Structure 1
C-alpha cells in the first residue's frame, strides 16, 4: 500500500503569501512610520526654533566654530565683513554679531550657519562683477538668520541623526554614514526659504544703495549657464534661477524700486585663499554632524 500525504489546505500556521512580499510590506510599513515621525518632529523643531533663546544659539555656534578654519580676517574677508556690518543695524538682527569666512573652493555658494557664521565659497566671488551683486548675496544670508532658517536645518539634521541611531545603533557604521549624509542635506534650505531670503535681501539692498541694481545679476548668470531646464530643479533646494529673477522683478515693480549705477568691487576681493587646499560645505557638514 502506497502512502500519499494529504495536502493541508486550511491551517492557521501555514501562510499562503510570499515571504518576500511580507518582507517588503513590513519594510514599507516601517518606512511609512519613520516618515510620519520625522514630519511630526520636523514641525516640533519649527515651533521650538521660533522660541529658541539667542544664548542657546550661540552655544550651537561653538560646535560649528570647532569645524571652521580659525585665522585673522584676510583683506577679502574684512571687505565682506564691512558690507555685513553696514546691513545689520537696519534689520531685526541689530545687536547680534555675524562673521564672514571665505572658504577656498571652486564651487559658487554661500551659507548661514549657527553661531552667526556666514560661509562664502571663493568660487562665488569670482563670478561677481559688482559690489551690489556681492551685497545682495550677503544680505540674502542675513535673511536666513532673520527667519531662523539655519536653526531649522540644524534641528532637522539632529532629528535625522537620532532616528538613524534608533534604527541601526548609535555606534554603527550605517548610522555614521546616514548622519553625515542626511545632515548635510537638511542644512540646505527649502525653495520657499530661499525666496523669502531673496526678498529680504532686495529690501536691504535698496536701503543701502538707494536702488536695487545688481540684485538679479548672479541669478541671470546661472540662468544663462543652465542647459538642463526647469525639471532638474523640481527636487532642488534652490528655486529655478529664472523663477528667482521673475519673482524679484515682480517685487521690484510692486515696490517701485529703481535700478542705479553699480559700485565696483573693492580691490581687496582679489586676496582670495588658495583653492589647492579647497574645503567644500560637505566637508564641513561631515565635521559638525553629531558623532
Structure 2
C-alpha cells in the first residue's frame, strides 16, 4: 500500500464563500446587530410587565437636593407643593407616600420623579407656570410616573442593558458598543411612551380635582416659547407641540370659560412676581 508523497491540492474557494472578506464581516455584524436589537427590545417589553409586580417598598429611595430647606420661605413653598400633590392623589391610590422636594437654587424649569416616591420641583418650574392649575399638571404628571411604576421599569431596563454590555464586552469590543447604543435607543423610545401615558393620567387627575383640565398646557407653552433647541428623534420626551395638541384635545368645550385657580399671593411675592 502506497501513500501520496505530498498533500493533495485543495480546490480554490473551499470554505470561502466570498471573494471579499469584508462581505463576511458585514453579514456577521448585521446578524449581531439584529440579535442585540431583538434582545434589547425584549428587555424593555419584559420590564414593563415585571415592574408592576415589584413591591413599592422595594424601590430604592433616590432623592436629590437638600433634605431640608434653608429658610422659612423655602419651607413654606415645600409644604405647599407637598400638600397640592397630596390633594391630587386619589384617595384609593395604592401609592400614597409621595415626598416632594423643593430645589430653590435650580433656575431650569424642570420637575422629575425618582424611585421611592420622590418628586423634585425646581425654582425655574414655578417661574414658568402662571396658575395653580399649570403647576398641578406638572405635579400630577410626575406622580403618574410613580403610580405607573416608570422608575422601576427604567431601572430594570438599565440593568438588562448593562448585562448585555458586560456579556458582549463593552469595554473591549464593537459588539458591546452596539449593545449599549441599542439599549440607549430602546430606553429613549420607551421613555417617550411613558411621557405620553403620564400626560394622559395627569389629565384624568386634574379633571377629578378641578373638574376640568384648563391650564394644563402652561409649562409646555413656556418651553415652546423659550427653548428653540429641538432634539427630534433623540429627545426623551414627545415633541412639545405634540403635547400641547394632546392637552388641548382633552379639554371639554366648557373648559375655555372656566377660571383658573391662581397661585397663592404669598407665593407670587416669594417669586418676586405681582399677584
CA–CA separation in structure 2 for the residues paired with 1:151 and 1:203: 22
Give the structure 2 partner of residue 262 of structure 1.
Answer: 261
Given the alignment of the two structures, is residue 240 of structure 1 paired with residue 239 of structure 2, yes or no? yes
Aligned CA distance change for structure 1 residues 137 and 266 (closer, same or farther; 3 Å): farther
Superimposed CA distance per residue, residues 24-58 of structure 1 (whole angstroms, 9 cap, x where no aligned partner): 3322221211111112222221111122222222x
SS of residue matched to 1:111: strand
Measured in 2, the distance between the counterparts of 1:27 and 1:123 equals 46
Distance change in 2, residues 1:91/1:20 (3 Å): farther
* 2:211 aligned with 1:215: no
Please give the alpha-carbon distance, in whole angstroms, between the structure 2 residues aligned to 1:114 and 1:188.
Answer: 20
For the residues of structure 2 that align with 1:210 and 1:44, how far apart are their CA atoms?
Answer: 36
Q: Which residue matches 2:4? A: none
Relative to structure 1, the CA distance from residue 183 to residue 268 in structure 2 (aligned partners, 3 Å threshold; closer, same or farther) is farther
Report how far residue 132 of structure 1 moved.
1.8
Q: Which residue of 2 aligns with 1:72?
A: 68
Counterparts in 2 of 1:207 and 1:16: CA distance versus 1, 3 Å: closer
- TM-score, normalising length: structure 1: 0.72
CA distance in 1 between counterparts of 2:23 and 2:172 reads 31
1:266 deviates by 5.5
Cα separation, 2, equivalents of 1:24 and 1:39 = 22
- Give the secondary structure class of the aligned counterpart of 1:97: coil
The aligned counterpart of 1:139 is: 140
- Structure 1 window deviating more from structure 2 (159-168 vs 206-215): it is 206-215
Task: Tell me: CA distance 1:149–1:37, structure 2 relative to 1, closer, same or farther (3 Å).
Answer: same
Shift of the 98–223 alpha-carbon distance from structure 1 to 2, 3 Å rule, reads same
Structure 1 pair 21–270 and aligned structure 2 pair: CA distance change class (3 A):
farther
**Mapped partners of 2:92, 2:106: distance in 1:** 30
Matching residue within 40, 45, 50 for 2:52: 50
Higher relative contact order (CA 8 A, sep 6+): 1
Q: Specify the alignment match of 1:31 in structure 2.
A: 33
- For residues 270 and 189 of structure 1, what CA distance do their matches in structure 2 show? 40
Greater Cα offset, 116-125 or 28-37: 116-125
Please report the RMSD computed on the Cα atoms of aligned residues, expressed in angstroms.
3.7
Q: Secondary structure at the match of 2:250?
A: helix
Structure 1, unmatched stretches of 5+, are: 1-6, 273-291
Which is further off, 187-196 or 22-31?
187-196
Distance across 2 between alignment mates of 1:208 and 1:46: 28
Verify the 8 A CA contact 1:188 1:237 in the aligned structure 2. Answer: yes
Instruction: Tell me what 2:167 maps to.
Output: 166
CA–CA separation in structure 2 for the residues paired with 1:41 and 1:148? 16
- Identify if the C-alpha distance between structure 1 residues 271 and 184 changes in structure 2 by more than 3 Å, giving closer, same or farther: farther
Seen in structure 2, the aligned counterparts of structure 1 residues 257 and 115 have a Cα distance that, compared at 3 Å, is same
Residues of 2 paired with 1:165 and 1:47: CA distance? 24
**Is the CA contact (8 Å cut-off) linking 2:88 and 2:209 kept in structure 1?**
yes
- How far did 1:118 drift? 0.9
Deviations 1:123-162 (A, max 9, x none): 3222122222111100111111222222212211111111
Larger radius of gyration: 2
5+ long unaligned stretches in structure 2: 1-8
Partner in structure 2 of residue 102 of structure 1 = 102
Q: Secondary structure at the match of 2:251?
A: helix
SS in 1 for 2:41: helix
